Amino acid sequence: MTHKPSVLFVCVHNAGRSQMAAGWLRHLAGDTIDVRSAGSAPTDQINPTAVDAMREVGIDITGETPTRLTWDTAEASDVIITMGCGDACPVFPGKRYEDWKLTDPAGQPLDIVRQVRDDIKTRVTDLLASIEPQS
């Protein structure tokens, strides 16, 4: 039996960076990785500029909803990628953690959000190369 790795992307509002990262990982990994995203203080909708930037590369994140980070979600994840959520992210022994320093796309023009999107793609591609399903 193979364990499907799980990755949790966490940012404050779960409306931009973490949603774009989750969109990239789903797009690049297909169903080989369980992808989650959450926020320490989620907003009520995905950032429309992030939606537009992702749509430009053929990835639709309009069906996603910002979700509050829970202890259970973090505990059930193998890899936790934080993006500016600070001390709100719980730490569990044995988990892999990375903190990605990324510009917050909230209130930014599309050209800045495109740069964030492309930076996230590079990081997600590197992350994917380092994750192997476990037996």
Q: 65 an active-site residue?
A: no
Catalytic residue among 15, 50, 61, 89: 89
The C-alpha atoms of residue 68 and residue 39 are separated, in whole angstroms, by: 5
Catalytic residue among 8, 10, 11, 25: 11
* Alpha helical stretches, state H, the chain: 17-29, 48-56, 71-75, 110-130
How deeply is 2 buried, as exposed, middle or buried, from its count of CB atoms within 10 A (0-12, 13-18, 19+)? Answer: exposed
Q: 10 an active-site residue?
A: no
Which tokens sit at 113? Answer: 């959000």
Angle, helices 17-29/110-130, rounded to nearest 10 degrees: 50
Q: 5 an active-site residue?
A: no
Q: Which helix (H) or strand (E) holds 7?
A: strand 6-11
Catalytic residue among 85, 113, 124, 127: 85
User: Catalytic residue numbers?
Assistant: 11, 85, 89
